[in-house]
Chains A and B, each alone.
Chain A
């Protein structure tokens, strides 16, 4: 056997051992590599004479390597491979005698059996007890060549692996050779990558305003991760390297090691721009690899990758010298001097500073502490996840608690002279209220959750229309019931798109009017009374009340002479009627029939109200008032017949005591109708009894009613008794009951244990029709 052959065998066994050393359980690719190395070792031996025993051992080892694929056998198989591999190499190198080697293998024979049981048979020969007869192996140790085995080591990929400062420029020879020649796959990748970039774009825009949002960061990471993975497959190395660089940054952000600053966001945006260019380069060449390569050549990615690396370095660590200088402990000249000395001595800056007596040991230690802390600076708040279901049940139970507590109070108060009881009950009341507020706040989410999404909407809408708009947000941390937030999202989108489309003028017109070229929209939320007020205000052309009136007259909603007397509030109220639009032009953005009436309807469903104030050429302001939560509302309790009914307080304008003499009989489409003339308007008088099917007990002297304002119309609802305004804990009614009585939105239990129904005004009015 030639020296070359022997050395080739040793090289292969050495490579095998490197593979075995780096193997981790479950690494299927390495498993295949191990098997392949053994196979080529086997092939090598087959070409040599007198290798029967070693060949046999190698065949067994191949079968052992196959057992790596079975998680149960894997640990034993790996042990066997590692120990045998080491002995194998030692034997080939001559440091283990043939006899010793043979003995060691024999000692492991039961292990071999165990692993090989059930394993598929070797193709050539079958031998359950592997052993090595070195005599026929006749492999003499050859010390002189042992050093050459080093060459067999898989060398680290030389390019792209250098230090962070080392940046390649230009694409090397053959850089693009790996690109897959499959236009279909490439175009598929193009579409997929485009989609990911779009997703990444919107996540990034949101992150600008909510830079610690874990979900967004994860999504963003996944976008680049996927692009990287797919491009690597197709041999698009430039795309791969670029997205890899961005992914590296995002990985650190995801791990909370660095904070996503504005600069970093810009950096990611920049990378996306280059990626987009690369993708376009693919598309314009219709995914023909040869032509794509030419386009790729002119799109530089390495300056960006280099920049990214430098930036990452900087974010990972602020240098001790910089910290000292920033703190004013040393001057910039000192720092420069120290840096120069550092190059000469290769000592650490901190050491040098102390040595040269520029800074004290304490200062340096302090700076070191700061350097360490900056790595983990991201604020951590502990959270516990609770299912919606559990939370709702909790809110429900706390509702019960409030009710029970007030029942108990009533009972105690009725038995006079229980002083201590009274004190205790008021303490209980405080505790219950605290619990109630706490539990309700758990279902709350900051409104920033949708505000940031609205920013994307504004950005996109403005872009679509070629306008430039600045969205200012205030009170993003105002918290609201999650259900409320979900309901107001669509209305807010609509209003914002409306504002940009119809409100904000184009740049030229704005300049003519002496306004800033950039339109301004304010989105604000704040606590007002027991609810929340959201304001959307634009500084556009405003809504001309005369135009609205004219349109209302045209649609027959109001008589011309009455229109003159309408208040501004009533006038703008028309805007919320279905099919009402003053806009002459219909654009794709808004104004396609779906209008503010939908906004109003959505808000009604959560007992919210909306109102418009505007001034021509100055502003349009939408004011939305919402209850804090849906679980507890402000209700007005009344008695009708034998039962209590709760009306939503937000819809009541006033309490009206009607003198029977005031009532006018009138006719409408359905027959006779009772009306009163009040504040210059004819208002229908509706009897709640009719809807609730309660018995009417004629009281002729005075009629109690509540005056509601709904959908631009007013109604007087007659009830038997007014009990008063109260916080109402809403309990769900059964579905069957709700189906039979769509005019109820829920039920409630009062302090005295009696129950009442909460009225849904829309349903109530429908029931009368």
Chain B
């Protein structure tokens, strides 16, 4: 069973995303507190990640750079960006770098799960 990697510097958002996923029987979840952390965890679990869920604004390494870094060794795993209305402009760049799509915060858990289900089954 592959993992879902969540990277967000906010404890709250990480918890919410994690809770939502667990509620829907997604058990293998990796969490990262910033971009650098996420990159390290992605490298350490290379080939065992089914989906990335990344925040755009993060310390140490922002989400956009992270996408670029991830795509340098993983060309196919879907990448979902968590963004906000104010950062929406960055999403074009994110797509250029290889992000699959984006979700604007705040979002409903129900919709989030529908999106995740399109890429990974629990």
Contact = CB atoms under 8 A, between A and B. Distances in A.
A222 B10 CA distance: 11
A247 interface: yes
Interface residues of B, number: 30
A306 B111 CA distance: 33
Interface stretch (B22-30, B36-44, B96-104): B96-104
Contacts of B102: 26-28
A229 B84 contact: yes
A232 interface: yes
B12 A225 contact: no
Given A28-B115, A188-B15, A226-B10, 11 more contacts: A26-B94, A27-B102, A31-B101, A66-B118, A69-B78, A69-B101, A185-B15, A192-B10, A226-B9, A228-B84, A233-B105
Contacts of B86: 225, 247, 251
Nearest to B98: A71
A71 B111 CA distance: 19
Contacts of B119: 69
Contacts of A251: 86
Interface residues of A, number: 30
A391 B91 CA distance: 34
Nearest to B87: A225
Contacts of A192: 10-12
Contact of A28 (B16, B59, B80, B84): B80
Interface string B29-68: 0000000000000000000000000000101000000000
Nearest to B111: A32
Interface string A15-46: 00000000011111101110110000000000
B80 A230 contact: no
Interface in A188-233: 188-189, 191-192, 222, 225-226, 228-230, 232-233
Nearest to A254: B86
Contacts of B91: 24, 26
Per CB-CB distance, the 6 closest pairs between chain A and chain B, nearest first, are A232-B106, A28-B101, A230-B12, A26-B101, A69-B118, A28-B115
A192 B10 CA distance: 7
A69 B104 contact: no
Given A69-B118, A229-B13, A233-B16, A29 B100 contact: no
A186 B13 CA distance: 12
Interface string B3-21: 0000001111101100000
A673 B119 CA distance: 82
A25 B81 CA distance: 13
B95 interface: yes
Nearest to B16: A233
A234 interface: yes
Contacts of B111: 29, 32-33
B105 A26 contact: no
Contacts of A26: 91, 94-95, 99-102
Contacts of A230: 10, 12-13
Contacts of B94: 26
A contact face: mostly helix, strand, loop, or mixed: helix
A732 to B, nearest CB: 30
* Residue of B12, B15, B16, B78 with most chain A CB atoms under a 10 A cut-off: B12
B50 to A, nearest CB: 14
Contacts of B12: 185, 188-189, 192, 230, 233-234
A219 B14 CA distance: 20
B13 A31 contact: no
A31 B103 CA distance: 10
Interface of A: 24-29, 31-33, 35-36, 66, 69, 71, 185, 188-189, 191-192, 222, 225-226, 228-230, 232-234, 247, 251
B84 to A, nearest CB: 6
B103 A28 contact: yes
A542 B94 CA distance: 59
A60 B12 CA distance: 39
Contacts of B105: 229, 232-233
A474 to B, nearest CB: 34
A224 to B, nearest CB: 10
A719 B102 CA distance: 73
A71 B13 CA distance: 26
* Residue of A25, A27, A28, A222 with most chain B CB atoms under a 10 A cut-off: A28
16 contacts: A32-B115, A33-B111, A36-B114, A66-B118, A69-B100, A71-B95, A185-B16, A225-B84, A229-B13, A230-B13, A233-B12, A233-B16, A233-B105, A234-B12, A247-B86, A251-B86
Nearest to A29: B103
* Residue of B11, B101, B119 with most chain A CB atoms under a 10 A cut-off: B101
A313 B88 CA distance: 23
Nearest to B58: A222
Nearest to A184: B15
A226 B101 CA distance: 21
Contacts of B103: 28-29
A593 to B, nearest CB: 34
Contacts of A33: 111
A226 B16 contact: no
A247 B85 CA distance: 12
Nearest to A189: B12
A225 B15 CA distance: 18
Contacts of B95: 25-26, 71
A28 B82 CA distance: 10
B95 to A, nearest CB: 5
A229 B100 contact: no
A35 B118 CA distance: 12
A66 B80 CA distance: 15
A420 to B, nearest CB: 56
A418 to B, nearest CB: 57
A26 B80 CA distance: 9
Given A69-B118, A71-B95, A29 B104 contact: yes
Contacts of A191: 11
Contacts of B99: 26
Nearest to A195: B11
B60 to A, nearest CB: 12
A71 B107 contact: no
A189 B59 CA distance: 18
Contacts of B57: 222, 225-226
A202 to B, nearest CB: 15
A35 B57 CA distance: 29
Contact of A31 (B15, B104, B115): B115
Contacts of B11: 188, 191-192
* Residue of B13, B80, B94, B118 with most chain A CB atoms under a 10 A cut-off: B118
A743 to B, nearest CB: 40
Contacts of A24: 91
Contacts of B9: 226
A323 B54 CA distance: 47
Nearest to A226: B10
Nearest to B116: A28
A42 to B, nearest CB: 16
Contacts of A35: 114
Nearest to A24: B91
Nearest to A233: B106
Nearest to A35: B114
B10 A229 contact: yes
A69 B10 contact: no
Nearest to A190: B12
A64 to B, nearest CB: 13
A33 B110 CA distance: 11
B20 to A, nearest CB: 11
